Amino acid sequence: MSIFITHDSWGSAAAFNAGNKARDDVFRFLEDRATALDIPVEKPQRVGKGGLAKIADHVRIARAWKRALQVAGEGDLVIIQFPVVCHTLFLAQALRSVQRRGVRIALLVHDSDVVRQAAGEGAASAGALRLRMEEESALKQADYVIAHNEAMAALLADRFAVPQDRLVTLGLFDYWVGEDAGREHATRNPVPFCPQSDHASSSPQQKSTGIRVVCPRPVRPAVVVAGNLSPQKAGYVYHLPEDVPFALYGAGYKPDDTFTNVTYCGTFAPDQGPATLQGSFGLVWDGPSAETCVGGYGEYLRVNNPHKTSLYLAAGLPVVIWDQAALAPFITENNLGITVSSLSELSAVLAAVTPEAYAAMAANAQRMGVQLTAGTHLHHAVDAVLERMGGGEHATRTPEPFCRQGDAASPPYPQKSTGVRVVSPRGFAAQRMSNVCFAVAFGLWLAFSLLNASFYASIIPESLSTLVRYFAMALLVVSELTAGEVIFRRSAAKHLACLAGAVILYATLAVAVPSDTATLLDTIAFVYCARNRDFRFLAKLALAITAACVVVIVLSACVGIIPNYLDTTQGRHRFYLGFRYALWVGQLLFVITCLWLYLRGTTLRIGEAVALILLNAAVFYFADTRLSFALATALTLLCFLVAKLGARPSGQPQSPRALCVLAFSFVFAAVLSVAFTAFYSPDNPVLQALNQGILGTRLSLGHSALTQYGISLFGQDIQLVGFGLNLLGERNTSAAYNYIDCMYVRMLVQLGLLYTAVYLGLFTVAGWRAAKQGNIVLLLIFAAIALNGIINDLSLYLFYNPFLLLAATILRDSVVDCEEENAQANYADRKGEPWVPKSILQ
């Protein structure tokens, strides 16, 4: 296996221009283990050209890429520094052409415009369409993407649907200091930090002839600012606080003599930066404001690794960084500096730093500088890619561990097991068959379950529905037989024995229990078999089938194919819209809303939010589904607010405590519901008003059920009579109404304490994981479903609550994130690669 690395440039690099520094460093650090891959074309100048001429340029460059990539063969890895300098609309197609030969492509992200815009730059640029066609398509096409950090990886996964298994994090950009300069620059002593001094000493020592002092001042700088200092890029440097001394290094600065605490030290050659900077801290900040990081460049700090961070650490300087930056946790966890929310608080924060604390930070910065100037992080990222390819044993190198002062050897970034193992093509084909069988079984079962909830049940023969149900269960058995547990595990016999027992138990219960309970048996079977599936794919499947069935049923009722009954009970006018109960269509639209919001995450747009609210309003108008309409509308607005605020689905939660509270939504809803129901009394005016007003006698009905039937461990056979219609459009009048609408009370009374505990446990653990990942959208969805269960019991059933499949991921044998591992399996399916999860191979 060979490794190739692209070596491109934005043009002739000036001596004091760091624009191409990161790209050059990547090539220098990898040149001893990778072959240079040059694209033999110049960067096109398309300004002023006509449309046909521009397209011809794109085609010409795409052909050049294909020719250059011909040197790579099957099993080789090509690392492309991204975005590419010689860009073309057809880059993804060029990559696809070589991937068919078995070449693997890894994109090393530097500063992608499409990523910067997605991170919150705001209005799309004129070239937004070109960016999507060039950069976004290439990100999706690549086999691996080396992102800056976990925040950027989360953004790529959420905004551009890049599978988690393809994402590798860099940690920090390494910093080349030149062979002649040596590594001693990373171990030199920074200017001592004296928070109590007046800083009245000589101006910074000029160690490099490349420095041009514009306005020297008798100030010893405490905080260094290096980089592009133009007002357009770094407007904050013109609003720096006056109670902290600063030293500015870089081009584009417009001196202002009104600032007596600022020393402009000129420019420097990028490779000589660590030997040039003089100060005690390096400032990582961006945007026009010194109060907080805002604007396109400021918001970009939430996901990117500024190269100046590596410059400061390579110089042995601890850093001061915005506390909302993606690198802020890394800096604090490794004691490499301090974080601030505003530069106005910088003086107070620096004054609180003791000499001992500063000495520890400086020592850690020097140790990290040694790693950065050795290319440790880059080599580690390449090793991770090779490990995922399954062939990196002879090509990897062990990175040098970073040790904080006084710590044992530990890496500066979390070490994640890739969970990837290469298996035979037979095993891959079996795993793929398992996924297909489960998807077909779930799709068929869901479609017929929804149709049977409508008056199509009078058209579809019952024997056909039963046949489809048993066929779906048979497919589930096949999916388990072809799953990795059976093929690859040593405990296959044990798994087969358990599976046989489950089949016998299901067959026995299915013919003995009522149809309503049998539906719950199907739910249990699907939930268990979904533990190793990709829920995102299943959510898309559930959304498509549910939406299609609702449209077919409602339209069929409107045109007269099936009945559209009108109910005028208690002064409420409700159209059933083809369903056998008026509330069911509202519940299904609530489910569609939840699935759509989950899949869109923080990319939800205002048009989508408005459309969801209008659809729910239309159903509310005809069916008077107040609860589902209120919940769907509130949920949509909250998710849209989250999207507008730029929350990340897998980033750092902005309110960890609030998120943890939302994780227990089902427990809170269950406790409140059961408590109010158990202590209900018509003599209590508050509970009576709640029962007669908001809850529509649900408290009294639930209290009667608890009093009459009690609570058992495994449940009991209770015939519930509600307002639903039979296939003739008639209600059951042979018995009194005793339906238990509250899902939590019904579970305790009819299904038992054990089932209730399992149900609540599934969603609580799933919610806790979502809170840990900062997935606010999913937590809001869980909270809405939990609230819905207080008045409505439909979330018991899988076809009214597909999120049961997501909650089932805690049934995995491993605590590894199910969606991440199964995204790897799905991507391997599309690429034709043999793959099974690591948890299966244990």
Contact 139, 156 (CB under 8 A): yes
Task: Please provide the average confidence, as pLDDT, over all residues in the chain.
Answer: 79
The band of 335, judged by pLDDT with boundaries at 50, 70 and 90, is very high
The band of 837, judged by pLDDT with boundaries at 50, 70 and 90, is very low
Give 78's strand partners.
4, 105
Report which DSSP code applies to 82.
Answer: E
For the chain, state the CA radius of gyration.
31
Residues 6+ apart with CB under 8 A from 167: 144, 145, 147, 153, 156, 157
**Distance between CA 308 and CA 313 in Å, rounded?**
9
| Position 774 pLDDT exceeds 80 | no
Tokens representing residue 578 in the block = 């083809």
Higher pLDDT, 378 or 491: 378
pLDDT of amino acid 190: 56
pLDDT of amino acid 212: 33
Region of poorest pLDDT, from 142-156, 198-212, 546-560, 620-634: 198-212
Region of poorest pLDDT, from 280-289, 339-348, 512-521, 665-674: 512-521
| Position 507 pLDDT exceeds 50 | yes
pLDDT of amino acid 205: 39
Residue-by-residue DSSP string for 283-304: EE--SS-SSS--HHHHHHTTT-
pLDDT of amino acid 382: 94
pLDDT of amino acid 338: 95
Region of poorest pLDDT, from 143-157, 307-321, 428-442, 826-840: 826-840
Question: Mapping DSSP to helix (H, G, I), strand (E, B) and coil, where does residue 174 land?
Answer: coil
Query: Which class for 348: exposed (0-12), middle (13-18), buried (19 or more C-beta within 10 A)?
Result: exposed
**Distance between CA 170 and CA 412 in Å, rounded?**
11
Report which DSSP code applies to 190.
Answer: P
| Position 590 pLDDT exceeds 50 | yes
**Distance between CA 806 and CA 539 in Å, rounded?**
9
The band of 443, judged by pLDDT with boundaries at 50, 70 and 90, is very high
pLDDT of amino acid 810: 61
Nearest residue to 241 via CA among 289, 290, 295, 293: 290
**Distance between CA 472 and CA 466 in Å, rounded?**
10
Question: Mapping DSSP to helix (H, G, I), strand (E, B) and coil, where does residue 251 land?
Answer: coil
pTM (whole model) above 0.75? no
pLDDT of amino acid 587: 93
Q: pLDDT tens across 55-108, in order?
A: 888 888 888 888 888 888 888 999 999 888 887 888 888 898 888 888 999 999
Beta pairing, strands 566-567 & 574-575: antiparallel
Nearest residue to 383 via CA among 68, 161, 79, 164: 79
Region of poorest pLDDT, from 127-131, 387-391, 524-528: 127-131
**Distance between CA 412 and CA 417 in Å, rounded?**
16
Contact 377, 171 (CB under 8 A): yes
| Position 131 pLDDT exceeds 80 | no
Higher pLDDT, 501 or 450: 450
pLDDT of amino acid 326: 93
Higher pLDDT, 415 or 825: 825
Tokens representing residue 312 in the block = 């400061």
- Residue 139's identity, in one-letter code, is L
The band of 842, judged by pLDDT with boundaries at 50, 70 and 90, is very low
The band of 790, judged by pLDDT with boundaries at 50, 70 and 90, is very high
pLDDT of amino acid 657: 63
Region of poorest pLDDT, from 286-295, 397-406, 462-471: 397-406
pLDDT of amino acid 118: 67
pLDDT of amino acid 744: 93
